[in-house]
C-alpha cells in the first residue's frame, strides 16, 4: 500500500494570489484538486512537465497549494480466471453453497442470565409502543 503526494488548493491563499498568477498557472491551479499527483497534473496541463513541476513548487512555496500524503490501496491484479470471465470466455465461477443454518439455541431463563437483574430483564423485554408518537 503506497502513499502518494497529491496537490490541493489552499483556498484562502489562492484567492489572494489568483489575480497575480499567469493564466497558464491558473489553469494548472485548477488541476490541484487533492487527488492528482505531479505526474497527473503535468499530463493534463498545457505546460511542459518540467515547467508544471517548477510552477507547482512555486505555488507550494507561496502557500497557494499544499502537498497531501494520500494513502492509496494497492491495486490487485486480475487472475487469469477473472480475465477470462470478463472477456466472456469462461462461465462465472460457481459460488459455494450456503452453509446450513444452525439450529436455534434456546435462551437461558431470565434468572440464569449473567449480568442482568430480574428488573432489568423485565424492562428490556417490555414493549416500547408507549414511547412512539403517532404520525
pLDDT of residue 120: 73
Give the model confidence (pLDDT) of 67-99 as tens digits: 998 876 667 787 888 788 788 876 665 666 677
Which of the two residues, 43 and 114, has the higher pLDDT score? 43
pLDDT category, 125, cuts 50, 70, 90? confident
Residue scoring higher pLDDT (67 or 113): 67
In this model, does residue 108 exceed pLDDT 60? no
DSSP state of 22: -
Chain segment 5-27, per-residue pLDDT in tens: 999 999 999 999 999 999 999 99
Written as one string, the DSSP assignment of 30-88 is: HT-EEEEEHHHHHHHSSS-HHHHHHHHHHHHHHTSEEEEEEEEPPPPPPPHHHHHHHTT
Cell numbers given for 68: 497531501
pLDDT of residue 65 exceeding 90, the answer is: yes
* Cα 12–Cα 46–Cα 68 angle in degrees, nearest 5: 40
pLDDT for 111 beyond 70:
no
Confidence band, pLDDT 50/70/90 cuts, at residue 54: very high
> Quick one: what percent of the chain has pLDDT higher than 90?
47
Amino acid at each position: 500500500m503506497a502513499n502518494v503526494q497529491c496537490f490541493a488548493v489552499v483556498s484562502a491563499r489562492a484567492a489572494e494570489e489568483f489575480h497575480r498568477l499567469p493564466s497558464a498557472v491558473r489553469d494548472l491551479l485548477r488541476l490541484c484538486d487533492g487527488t492528482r499527483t505531479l505526474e497527473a497534473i503535468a499530463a493534463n496541463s498545457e505546460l511542459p512537465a518540467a515547467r508544471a513541476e517548477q510552477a507547482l513548487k512555486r505555488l507550494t512555496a507561496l502557500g497557494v497549494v499544499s502537498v497531501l500524503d494520500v494513502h492509496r490501496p494497492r491495486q490487485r491484479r486480475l487472475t487469469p480466471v477473472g480475465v477470462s470471465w470478463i472477456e466472456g470466455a469462461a462461465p462465472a465461477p460457481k459460488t459455494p453453497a450456503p452453509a446450513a443454518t444452525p439450529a436455534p439455541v434456546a435462551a437461558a431463563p431470565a434468572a440464569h442470565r449473567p449480568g442482568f437483574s430480574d428488573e432489568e430483564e423485565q424492562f428490556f423485554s417490555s414493549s416500547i409502543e408507549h414511547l412512539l408518537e403517532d404520525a
